[in-house]
Structure 1
Amino acid sequence: MQTHEIRQRFLDHFTAAGHTPVPSASLILDDPNLLFVNAGMVQFVPYFLGQVPAPWARAASVQKCVRTGDIENVGITTRHNTFFQMAGNFSFGDYFKREAIGHAWSLLTDPVDEGGYGFDPQRLWATVYTDDDEAHRLWQDVAGLPPERIQRRGMADNYWSMGIPGPCGPCSEIYYDRGPEHGVEGGPEADEDRYIEIWNLVFMQNERGAGTSKDDFEILGPLPRQNIDTGMGVERVAFLLQGVDNVYETDLVRPVITLAERLSGRAYGRDSTDDVRFRVIADHARTGVLLIADGVTPGNDGRGYVLRRLLRRIVRSARLLGITAPSMAELVAVVRDTMSTSYPELTSEFARIERIAVGEETAFLRTLEAGSTLFDTAAEQVRAAGASVIAGDRAFALHDTYGFPIDLTLEMAAEAGLTVDEPGFCALMSEQRARAKADAQKNKTAHGDLSAYTELLAAGPTEFTGYTELETEGRVLGVLADGVRTRRASEGDVVEVVLDRTSLYAESGGQDSDAGRITGDGVDLEVLDVQKVAKRIWVHRVRVVAGELAEGAAVVSRVDPQWRAGARQGHSGTHLVHAALRHVLGPTALQSGSYNKPGYLRLDFAWQGGLSAATRSEVEEVTNRAVRDDLPVRVVHTDMAGAQQMGALALFGETYDTDVRVVEIGGPFSVELCGGTHVQHSSQVGPVTLLGESSVGSGVRRVEAYVGLDAYRYLARERALVQGLAATLKVPDDEVPARVEALLERLKEAERELEQTRAAAAVASAGTLAAGAEKVGDLLLVATTAPAGVTGGDLRTLATEVRGKLGQQPGVVLLLAVSDGKVSFVVATTAAAREAGLRAGDLVAVFGPSIGGRGGGKPDMAQGGGTEPDGIPAALAALRAHVGQRA
């Protein structure tokens, strides 16, 4: 049975059982504890926590998941993947243990021709939490499992929580016995390679407190409602139903290995070391493609670092298999071909996915080349010292600082007849992981406390009327201060206000919240901010300007019309700039974030490398042509399927409701999913002026622009600046650049002439300085501050000239110069002085402390600087005394 069919059978089974099918969320969700979605229940957390009423009593999904906590072990075992698909069915206060067990058992054991998976019931086992007698009994009653195939396990194995305070509960797992050829008898407790876990049923019934580990926390009490959260591992079920030995040999993974076999000329299944490398390539290629599709780009921290690490491990593993030519383009194409049935966006977004993946491969191949040079240097130093072991800290530096993988270091060391201090390397890696783990744990927090809003959330969503009107009558549903329901507020108070209806836009989709006022009978509120809570209710942060506010009061929300006009220009302008970027750069230049407010917009987009001035100018022109063409703006309400048919673009990492809002500007010119406020015709945006373009991370660029009156004011300032320069330079406006360039060239020429004059003056003073040399014994000493006008840069030239004029006699020259409160110095010695034991580099230690100076050089000349000009007389005296002792 193919994996795509396994997914569909799961959804069909639970849809027939009254569950609402819910699409997979993006791998990127706004959760402070997660880099990536790592379980099927993550998108449903607000419903389990009771923060938001669930829109359905029952739901089912097949969720994309990524877990990267132990990347180094991928491929070593054959049961784990960084990317996997978790099929789950969920109950929000509806059914509980009996029904959950029944649903799972029937899907697993029903015949294939009846919609099931057709597993042999005699090969299925179950585990339950140690004291969950109810689940133990239900496995016998509902599934007919004999007691000997139901095992009790402790909290570490069979008690679920999110690792932070919140919902928790006992769980029950279903295992499949692969047979005696795969291990010893005795059920999951005896051998989890023979007995493979395929389903986990969480009976979410309690609330946990704080703790330090999976099995060290307090159970605070029961939840208000009992919930069900289950997860079936699609990849594990696939390898069992397809009759292969592990997940790497299933229909969606094995094709990548087959390609790697062809590229490398090696065969999978013949060498255990090579097999690990094949599996790493297959696993990481899938994960990398899915992450890029959801908007992640390679970087040096967070999600970007994980993606970079995965892609580089592919390149490294390919190299260890003997694949030296670039191969990323072919690998990601195979992933697209195998996975796009379930994830069609892999086809529509493939050009961008390929460009990012290949770009990272190219960069890492350069790193490997540089790392090889560094390794050769380290190996040569080891040999020169008569040793044969490369130190662990050197190997760690190659890995951590330069990105050079340890297994390549080991391989190259062996080829060079050397070894590596692996224990030393591993100790440093362990320290690094411990620090990273501690940082991650420190940053882990409980989910935001929305308990103050619970009643308000249950009352229903806020009705937003601002798309069609700027003033709306409403009623005050709640008044809160510092997260506590106060129900009243007086003049001068700053509080949060929830209305049943509002015309004020809440910050979202990159658009800043509206400015405005809320007024009622004797009360006037200045609106400071508007935010959404749980994407359901609008929370207005206000200052009570006059009167007293009470819950239940009738009020009118009023948007500042000038603010809204500018906000509409900013948001529509963002769409136009995005469309222009895609028009100029191509369809892979997709928005990855934005911010807009009246008169200003900022847009981040996926792209490698900066934009030339000509390209920026073209983007600006395409945008303003769209403004000039007075394109109609149309809003369409549809479902996701309809939006996709329209070609609507979605923002990376955003989650959308089943019913969505599509904003279309000029037909196909710009079509995006968007909840913001917009102009009615593109001409109302007014002029758009790009301010600049910059990098905000690897593979992500940012453009900023002014729109409307702010763009006009910016251009007016620029015009005034040019006109002022033209008047000063006495040239027409269009000749200002050439005139400025000519003046700069003349200035550079003047500086060169001045430098030559200064150098000539320095040389000219050399004779005078040499003639005034002090006689100290049989040695000539020139120790003085340099003539006026001689800078630190001239000292070396002057000292060289003075030393030359001392001839064959023993001589020491020390010249100092002061500039901006700092001291520069040069000390030089003749050959005869050096034969007498006076070396320039050593003399710095004699006079340097007096001027707070440091420096160094060779025996014939040294230079440096100091911070204490007042110490110059003492420095000169110290040198005279030292030379006198040696003369």
Structure 2
Amino acid sequence: MQTHEIRKRFLDHFIRAGHTEVPSASLILDDPNLLFVNAGMVPFKPYFLGDQTPPYQRATSVQKCVRTLDIDEVGVTTRHNTFFQMAGNFSFGDYFKREAIEFAWSLLTDPVDEGGYGIDPEKLWPTVYLDDEEAETIWRDVIGVPAERIQRRGMADNYWSMGVPGPCGPCSEIFYDRGPEYGVEGGPEADEDRYIEIWNLVFMQNERGAGTSKDDYEILGPLPKKNIDTGMGIERVACILQGVDNVYETDLLKPVIDLAAELSGRAYGAGNADDDVRFRVIADHSRTAVMLIGDGVIPGNDGRGYVLRRLLRRVVRSMRLLGATQPTMAAIVQKVIDEMSPAYPELAEQRDHILAVTVAEEESFGKTLASGSKLFADAAASTRQAGRSRISGDDAFTLHDTYGFPIDLTLEMASEAGLEVDRDGFAALMAEQRGRAKADASARKSGHADLSVYRDFLDRGPTEFTGFDELVSQARVLGLVSGGERVASAAPGTELEVILDRTPLYAEAGGQLADLGTITTGSGVRLSVKDVQRVNKQVWLHRVVVDEGEIVEGDEVLAAVDAAWRHGATQGHSGTHLVHAALRQVLGPTATQAGSLNRPGYLRFDFHSPAPLSELQRAEIERISNEAVEANYAVNTFQTDLATAKSMGALALFGENYGDEVRVVEIGGPFSMELCGGTHVAGSAQIGPVTVIGEGSVGSGVRRVEAYVGMDSLRYLSKERALLAGLASSLKVPSEQVPERVENLVTRLKDAEKALEAVRAEQARAAVGGLIDSAETVAGTLVVTGRVADGVDANGLRSLATELRGKVAARDAVVVLLSVDGAKVPFVAATTEAARASGLRAGDLVKEIAPLVSGRGGGKPDLAQGSGSDAGGIDAALKRVREVVGERGTDSAR
């Protein structure tokens, strides 16, 4: 039975049993505890906790999940996947243990022609929690499983939670016996390789607190209702029904392995264990990457982006280790999309975007591999020469920070080379460089706080937004929230959240900042609205300061938008649509949106592109946008269903979850059509002039363009014109000749700087010429040290040190030079062959002196350099060089 059929039968079985089918949520949810959705119940968490009232009592879904804690085990074992599909059925205070067990048993064991999976019941072993008498009785007396095939297990195995504070409860797991060829008899307690878990029935009845392991956390108390949460592993059931040994040989992953074998010229399962691991890594990670990109993740250097980057780079490196010499990512990603799109058709729709992101990452990593692999080899060689088995944290950090070599790749390559890495040293340097992670912007905005305070408002239904049609609305205060608690009233000076039954004030969403405005009453109460956010996209939270009077729950009020703010915001938002359309005309359909922000007079738009915009392309985007303004296109908005909108060509934001009903914003018919909930101008002429002010990179494969619109655009152009006029006046040329005159001046300045640098270098060379004559011999080594003339930069210092070393090449000698170049203190160390043979290495010398000038450095045994910021430490650094050489001599004598 094919995997897509297994998936369909599961959903059909529970739909027949009265469950509402709920589509898979995005892998990215607004939950501060989770990087990705890691269990089928995560989207239903608010219902289990009682924060929201569920719209149904029974639900079923096949949820996309990603778990990356075991990423290093992927491929090494055949049981770990980073992406998997979790089929589940859920009850919110409806049925409990008996029904959950009966539903699972019937689907697993019913004949295939009756809609079941046809699994032999004699091969199924249930487990229950230690003291769960009720569950064991149901399995034994109702289902008829012999008592000897029911096993009791402890909290680590049979008490389920997400691993973080939230809903939890005892569970009953169902295992399938694969037979004696896979291990010893005795059930799951004896061997979980032979007895493989396929379904977990969680009797969700408690809430847990924080903890450090699966069985080390406090049970805080019961949930409002007893619920059911089950999870059946689609991939594991596929193994059983397809008669294969592991998930990598099922119908969705094996084709990817076969393609990788074809592209690399190696064979899977041919007896080379290392190759087999690489094939499995390729199949697993490429599928996970495709699913993550489909949900809006972009490769980056932290958070979700870093996980995606790591997955993609492991695929690229695995293919290279298998012998592939040409780019392979496009072919592999195409195959993954082909295999997964029957269940997730949006992947086929996003094919061009997913390919663009993955191919760009492959190209970027290819360059990193070329430079980083050689540098790693040098670091490994230096480590062995020094008689150590651990690559220093400094070397690992330099690879990461300077050359973009990921730490996980350094760890992998070190392991393959029989070495370790000083992880603590690396982590300390990373902490020093980054500081602590920034607070998540959405956490600051929307409150990952306890949502239970908003439950009454959520249960009432969504706030009525009137802002598309009016800027002032009559409303009633439904509630006041201060410090996370409901309050009855608030006095002047209080900051709080106000919930209204209806509002014209736009809540921040879709890149558009929230409206500013006021809330007033007829009795003189006045509140200034500073921000507006949404809870679960339904309830508007007006964040206000009470300016005058006392606001009371139940008050009738007038909510008003700051008209000037709204006008500018609509200009910025509609301008964003124009720029997006222009980008697609210039760069093609792969220039899809990766994020945006617009506020009055300003917009920024992030888009997928492997290369920066040329000046010509920037000018073309600006021209197309302003021609659309000149055309005064009508801006139309309408509601329709998602399928119809997509069939009309409306663009959707990758990774965004849309409801069945969507709002389409159309500007000029085919010119621009997007799904959007923001506020817009009535005609494109109202946007005013569009001026592109900048373009740059915000991550691998993602660029950002910024622009002004309306009066801000005119003010910007006016400043530019005044600047040009001032230059023309200073240079005494017409404004059209300013570029040529400035270019001539820059050329002359560069020539003068080169001449000055040559003079300085000659002076420095003359000054250091006497350093050899004044050099001191320490423990048999000639120590040539000195501070050269100020203004000599790192490159000049390196040349001088190399030249001095050449003059003493036949001797046991070290050369260490420092300089002051503006605010920097560059330094360099060089060693002769005889010095290195006696145990002196330039990289070690540099690390000794770097802290004394508040710097950092590194390099090879023969030549190393760095830079600091404290010129006051130069004398101490030169003294330390002599001490290190002397200590080497003392150590040798011992």
TM-score, normalization by structure 2? 0.81
* Structure 1 residues 9 and 802: CA distance shift in structure 2, 3 A: closer
What SS is found at the alignment partner of 2:143?
coil
What SS is found at the alignment partner of 1:677?
coil
- The root-mean-square deviation of aligned C-alpha atoms, in Å, is 4.1
What SS is found at the alignment partner of 2:658?
coil
Structure-2 separation of matches of 1:723 and 1:653: 47
| 8 Å Cα contact 2:767/2:788 also seen in 1 | no
Report the alpha carbon displacement of residue 428 of structure 1 after superposing the two structures with TM.
Answer: 4.6
Structure-1 separation of matches of 2:42 and 2:531: 29
Instruction: Name the structure 1 match of 2:535.
Output: 533
Instruction: Name the structure 2 match of 1:116.
Output: 116
Deviations, residues 165-222 of structure 1 (Å, cap 9, x unaligned): 3221111111112222222222111111111111111111112233332212222221
Structure-1 separation of matches of 2:757 and 2:149: 92
Instruction: Name the structure 2 match of 1:138.
Output: 138
**2:301 aligned with 1:300:** yes
Structure-2 separation of matches of 1:716 and 1:441: 40
The amino acid of 2:105's aligned partner reads W
**2:601 aligned with 1:599:** yes
Instruction: Name the structure 1 match of 2:177.
Output: 177
Deviations, residues 32-52 of structure 1 (Å, cap 9, x unaligned): 222221111222222222222
* Structure 1 residues 30 and 462: CA distance shift in structure 2, 3 A: same
Instruction: Name the structure 2 match of 1:78.
Output: 78
| 8 Å Cα contact 2:634/2:667 also seen in 1 | yes
What SS is found at the alignment partner of 1:63?
strand
Structure-2 separation of matches of 1:819 and 1:323: 49
Report the alpha carbon displacement of residue 67 of structure 1 after superposing the two structures with TM.
Answer: 1.0
Instruction: Name the structure 2 match of 1:197.
Output: 197
Instruction: Name the structure 1 match of 2:493.
Output: 492
Deviations, residues 617-638 of structure 1 (Å, cap 9, x unaligned): 1112222222222222222322
Q: Quick check: 208-217 or 152-161, which moved more? A: 208-217
Deviations, residues 686-711 of structure 1 (Å, cap 9, x unaligned): 21111101112222211111111211
| 8 Å Cα contact 2:295/2:656 also seen in 1 | no
Structure-1 separation of matches of 2:247 and 2:661: 36
| 8 Å Cα contact 1:568/1:679 also seen in 2 | yes
The amino acid of 2:109's aligned partner reads T
Task: Work out which of the residue numbers 387, 392, 397 in structure 1 matches 2:390.
Answer: 392
Structure-2 separation of matches of 1:35 and 1:61: 21
**2:491 aligned with 1:478:** no
The amino acid of 1:392's aligned partner reads R
**2:708 aligned with 1:706:** yes
Instruction: Name the structure 2 match of 1:508.
Output: 509
Structure-1 separation of matches of 2:828 and 2:392: 28
Structure-2 separation of matches of 1:51 and 1:722: 59
| 8 Å Cα contact 1:277/1:318 also seen in 2 | yes
Structure-2 separation of matches of 1:273 and 1:98: 46
* Structure 1 residues 142 and 582: CA distance shift in structure 2, 3 A: farther
Structure-2 separation of matches of 1:430 and 1:483: 41
Q: Percent identity?
A: 62
TM-score, normalization by structure 1? 0.82
Report the alpha carbon displacement of residue 86 of structure 1 after superposing the two structures with TM.
Answer: 0.9
Structure-2 separation of matches of 1:393 and 1:107: 54
Report the alpha carbon displacement of residue 529 of structure 1 after superposing the two structures with TM.
Answer: 1.2
Instruction: Name the structure 2 match of 1:638.
Output: 640
Alignment of 1:361-372 (within 5 A): 361-372=362-373
| 8 Å Cα contact 2:282/2:319 also seen in 1 | yes
**2:96 aligned with 1:96:** yes
Structure-1 separation of matches of 2:800 and 2:813: 6
Deviations, residues 50-97 of structure 1 (Å, cap 9, x unaligned): 222222222221111111112111112222211111111222222222
Instruction: Name the structure 2 match of 1:724.
Output: 726
- Name structure 1 gaps, 5 residues minimum: 414-419, 760-791, 804-811, 872-887
Instruction: Name the structure 2 match of 1:580.
Output: 582
Larger radius of gyration: 1
Instruction: Name the structure 1 match of 2:742.
Output: 740
What SS is found at the alignment partner of 2:335?
helix
Deviations, residues 498-550 of structure 1 (Å, cap 9, x unaligned): 11111111111111111111111212221111111222211111222222211
What SS is found at the alignment partner of 1:258?
helix
Structure-2 separation of matches of 1:753 and 1:380: 41
What SS is found at the alignment partner of 2:9?
helix
* Structure 1 residues 724 and 25: CA distance shift in structure 2, 3 A: same
Report the alpha carbon displacement of residue 815 of structure 1 after superposing the two structures with TM.
Answer: 11
| 8 Å Cα contact 2:788/2:817 also seen in 1 | no
Instruction: Name the structure 2 match of 1:318.
Output: 319
Report the alpha carbon displacement of residue 657 of structure 1 after superposing the two structures with TM.
Answer: 2.4
| 8 Å Cα contact 1:395/1:409 also seen in 2 | no
Report the alpha carbon displacement of residue 146 of structure 1 after superposing the two structures with TM.
Answer: 2.5
Report the alpha carbon displacement of residue 335 of structure 1 after superposing the two structures with TM.
Answer: 0.8
What SS is found at the alignment partner of 2:493?
coil
* Structure 1 residues 817 and 627: CA distance shift in structure 2, 3 A: same
What SS is found at the alignment partner of 1:322?
coil
* Structure 1 residues 794 and 396: CA distance shift in structure 2, 3 A: closer
Instruction: Name the structure 2 match of 1:244.
Output: 244
Instruction: Name the structure 2 match of 1:20.
Output: 20
Structure-2 separation of matches of 1:29 and 1:185: 42
**2:798 aligned with 1:796:** no
Structure-2 separation of matches of 1:670 and 1:843: 63
Report the alpha carbon displacement of residue 379 of structure 1 after superposing the two structures with TM.
Answer: 7.0
Instruction: Name the structure 2 match of 1:68.
Output: 68
* Structure 1 residues 133 and 649: CA distance shift in structure 2, 3 A: farther
Structure-2 separation of matches of 1:561 and 1:241: 63
Alignment of 1:677-692 (within 5 A): 677-692=679-694
Report the alpha carbon displacement of residue 827 of structure 1 after superposing the two structures with TM.
Answer: 13
Alignment of 1:652-663 (within 5 A): 652-663=654-665
| 8 Å Cα contact 2:15/2:21 also seen in 1 | yes
What SS is found at the alignment partner of 1:61?
strand
* Structure 1 residues 382 and 827: CA distance shift in structure 2, 3 A: closer
Deviations, residues 641-671 of structure 1 (Å, cap 9, x unaligned): 2232233333233322232222222233322
| 8 Å Cα contact 2:393/2:423 also seen in 1 | no
The amino acid of 2:669's aligned partner reads G
* Structure 1 residues 799 and 267: CA distance shift in structure 2, 3 A: closer
Structure-1 separation of matches of 2:633 and 2:382: 69
Report the alpha carbon displacement of residue 410 of structure 1 after superposing the two structures with TM.
Answer: 6.7
Structure-2 separation of matches of 1:676 and 1:26: 22
Structure-2 separation of matches of 1:547 and 1:616: 52
What SS is found at the alignment partner of 1:95?
coil
What SS is found at the alignment partner of 1:542?
strand
| 8 Å Cα contact 1:799/1:815 also seen in 2 | no
Structure-1 separation of matches of 2:217 and 2:474: 49
Structure-1 separation of matches of 2:800 and 2:297: 56
Structure-2 separation of matches of 1:815 and 1:328: 52
